[in-house]
């Protein structure tokens, strides 16, 4: 029924072919799907809009993009993780390309390619970069899930140091994934196949281990990523248990 100046217009319809849950749609989509149909007047649409939550009614414009598909200097095969450091004209974004075995760094403001990390032969060569994060000084930390190590590079992409090995002891890793720094200078590693989270100092010195294999509270099955809150709390995506723990 469509409310008009002279009352109601009743239209006979056939079978119902679909339904829209207006409570789950954005105002923008409702307008695109319904306004042109004549099923609802503009006034009635306004009433519906007024009663809807606007929590999901947000449209974001893409300001800039980096790279494209391929194996060229500024291209990606599989972007596994990203991290940002700096502000304004000095802000950089690091993009871990696991399949290409490298990390590409771009200037966020200008979109210019800065450098490639981990392609040079030697101790800093990457095999399967997965997680990336920056410390306060702009050094880049990379977890390599194929080498079971953490590798560190300076602001120009030069290798600085590395630590870790394929074991289950303190400071050792089995397929390390996500990384995150705390405000106190320690960094957190999702130790995927060791079913734990490790906390280390910037030089790789072991601080503590969190969790073990299992389904109980504080236990993990394949923790995949980590984040650190402003209060120092550690947030863990617990892949195998289908949950997030803090």
pLDDT, one tens digit per residue, over 8-49 is: 555 555 665 556 565 555 555 555 655 555 555 666 666 665
Q: What CATH number has the domain bearing residue 174? A: 2.120.10.30
Question: What own/partner pairs with CB < 8 Å and gap ≥ 24 does 240-246 have?
Answer: 241/215, 245/217, 245/218, 245/220
Domains identified in the chain, total number: 2
184 within some domain: yes
| Buried b / exposed e along 90-99 (16+ C-beta atoms within 10 A) | eebbbbbbbe
Q: Which domain holds residue 120?
A: 79-245
- Chain mean position to CA 145: 17
Tokens linked to 146: 């194929």
Give Cα 9 distance to the centre of its chain.
50
Residue 34 lies in a domain: yes
Q: Does 48 lie in the same domain as 87?
A: no
Residue 113 and residue 225 in one domain: yes
Query: What is the helix, strand, coil percentage profile of the chain, to 5?
Result: 10, 35, 50
pLDDT by residue for the chain (246 residues), tens only, comes to 444 444 555 555 566 555 656 555 555 555 565 555 555 566 666 666 566 555 544 555 566 777 778 778 878 888 889 999 999 999 999 999 999 999 999 999 988 999 999 998 999 999 999 999 999 999 999 999 999 999 999 989 999 999 999 999 999 999 999 999 988 889 999 999 999 999 999 999 999 999 999 999 999 999 999 999 888 899 999 999 999 998
Asked if the structure places residue 138 within a domain, the reply is yes
Whether 9 is covered by a domain: the verdict is: no
* 118: DSSP letter: S
User: Could you tell me if 149 and 218 lie in one domain?
Assistant: yes
Where is 42: in which H helix or E strand? helix 42-50
> Does residue 107 share a domain with residue 224?
yes
Q: Model-level pTM?
A: 0.74
């Amino acid at each position: 029924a469509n409310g008009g100046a002279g009352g109601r217009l009743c239209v006979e319809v056939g079978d119902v072919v679909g339904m829209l849950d207006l409570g789950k749609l954005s105002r923008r989509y409702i307008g695109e799907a319904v306004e042109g149909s004549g099923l609802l007047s503009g006034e009635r649409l306004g009433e519906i809009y007024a009663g809807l939550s606007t929590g999901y009614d947000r449209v974001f414009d893409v300001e800039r993009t980096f790279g494209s598909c391929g194996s060229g200097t500024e291209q990606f095969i599989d972007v596994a993780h990203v991290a940002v450091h700096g502000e304004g004209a000095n802000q950089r974004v690091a993009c871990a390309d696991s399949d290409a075995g490298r990390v590409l760094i771009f200037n966020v403001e200008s979109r210019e390619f800065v450098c490639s990390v981990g392609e040079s032969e030697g101790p800093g060569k990457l095999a399967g970069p997965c997680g990336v994060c920056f410390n306060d000084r702009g050094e880049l930390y990379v977890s390599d899930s194929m080498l079971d190590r953490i590798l560190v590079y300076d602001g120009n992409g030069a290798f600085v140091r590395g630590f870790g090995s394929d074991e289950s002891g303190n400071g050792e890793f089995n397929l390390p994934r996500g990384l995150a720094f705390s405000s106190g200078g320690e960094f957190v590693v999702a130790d995927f196949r060791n079913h734990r989270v490790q906390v280390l100092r910037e030089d790789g010195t072991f601080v503590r281990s969190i969790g073990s294999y299992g389904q109980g509270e504080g236990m993990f099955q394949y923790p995949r990523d980590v984040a650190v809150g402003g209060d120092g709390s550690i947030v863990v995506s617990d892949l195998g248990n289908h949950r997030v723990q803090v």
